[in-house]
Amino acid sequence: MTPLLQVADLSKLFVARRDVIGRPTATVKAVDGVSFDLAAGETLALVGESGCGKSTVGRLLLRLIEPSGGAIRFDGQDVLSTGNSGARRLRRDVQLIFQDPYASLNPRMTVGDILGEPLLLHDVVPPDRRRERVAELLTTVGLRPDYHRRYPHEFSGGQRQRIAIARALAVEPKLIVCDEPVSALDVSIRAQVLNLLRDLQQRLGLAYLFISHDLAVVKHIATRVAVMYLGRIVEMGDAGQVFAEPRHPYTRALLSAIPVPAPGARQDRRILQGDVPSPIAPPPGCHLHTRCPHAVDRCRVERPPLDLGDGHGVACHLWRQLPPAGEALPRELAPNPTLEKLQAAFVRRTEEVI
Ligand code: SF4
């Protein structure tokens, strides 16, 4: 079956500096040869530290910005070569939920107008059914139908994110790009919104591209995971496989930073040395070589391809020779017992509510 979304060799270059007459003197390759597929009803999580290019991928898919290279096919159609009618259809089929529910809703519009606007723009239902459809949407996301008269400031953060989800659902999309949708919410509210997204997926067959820096959250919602570092995907596979047997040193470092929800449990932290390099001048070869404890000369000159042979891909020259994921590495940083206790309590609470 053809995947709902096919992304091939996608790249995006931003101009970082210009000279006095406006010519570019420095560029940032925010997205560098990213390829993935997404099936209907599936959740692919794009994860990585901030600045790795994951949100840029989401914006490229919606054509909010134009790519510098590569191809995007949605539902069998070449997204980048479609005219106005194709772009209009794409904007109906692919919706975006932002991180900040406070900023993403117009404070001067009532909830009824916020949800009614996309119904009007895309002519989803006849005018005499709009009020009824707004009430249905509010009920679908767990809000009272009579909230349509209220303004965004009258709601809590979680309720506003539910309104943002209802707005995305208004046009009956096939794919929702969720850009850090729960990062700005409290832990208990976060779990409720994640559960709502999962329920909606089961009921409506939605596909999600779930963009997040938080692997603990991703673990609860993703079917597949793609890990990004400095604009490239370094590991991709089924969520269960990636979490149980991470192959790339960067994924292992990210996973080892998730606190274990058991007081006193020992954790082998795999701390990467140094800071994330500047995206204006990323290191040649494997971008991680300046921080990777396993780097060899080859890593400094040759870019490792993402080999998807068995469906669990990894972009590392040495992944077959690395010690198994569970094996302890030398501790570069002694754990702080007080901090670990607090983190464990935090994670336990998250898991209880999820
Ligand atoms: Fe580390 Fe080399 Fe693998 Fe890159 S290719 S992750 S530097 S071992």
pLDDT by 10-residue block (mean), the chain, 354 residues? 91 89 87 94 93 91 92 90 77 88 87 93 88 95 93 92 95 94 86 93 95 90 95 95 93 81 58 76 92 93 88 93 66 43 50 48
CA of 252 to the centre of ligand 1 (A): 12
Nearest of 253, 213, 254, 244 to residue 312 by alpha carbon: 244
CA of 273 to the centre of ligand 1 (A): 13
Mutation probe of ligand 1 site: the residue of 297, 318, 319, 320 with most atoms within 8 A of C-beta: 318
Which pLDDT does position 340 carry in this prediction?
Answer: 47
Which pLDDT does position 345 carry in this prediction?
Answer: 54
CA separation for the pair 100, 131 (Å, rounded): 26
CA of 295 to the centre of ligand 1 (A): 5
For atom 6 of ligand 1, which residue has the closest CA?
316
Strands (E), 164-260: 175-179, 207-212, 224-229, 232-238
CA of 343 to the centre of ligand 1 (A): 30
Which pLDDT does position 330 carry in this prediction?
Answer: 42
Ligand 1 atom having least distance to the Cα of 296: 2
CA separation for the pair 267, 122 (Å, rounded): 51
Answer yes or no: are the C-beta atoms of 234 and 227 closer than 8 Å: yes
Q: At 134, is the secondary structure helix, strand, or coil? A: helix
Pairing between strand 313-314 and 94-97? unpaired
CA distances from 191 to 139, 143, 196, 238, 354 (A): 19, 16, 9, 22, 5
Pocket around ligand 1 at a 6 A CB cut-off:
249, 286, 288-289, 292, 294-295, 299, 304, 316-318
Residue recorded with tokens 């989800």: 165
Which pLDDT does position 266 carry in this prediction?
Answer: 54
Q: Residue 51: which residues within 8 A CB-CB, separation 6 or more?
A: 276, 279
Sheet holding 224-229, edge to edge: 94-97, 175-179, 207-212, 43-47, 224-229, 232-238, 313-314
CA of 152 to the centre of ligand 1 (A): 47
Q: Residue 159: which residues within 8 A CB-CB, separation 6 or more?
A: 143
CA of 297 to the centre of ligand 1 (A): 10
Which pLDDT does position 342 carry in this prediction?
Answer: 47
For atom 5 of ligand 1, which residue has the closest CA?
316
For atom 3 of ligand 1, which residue has the closest CA?
316
User: Amino acid identity of 100?
Assistant: D
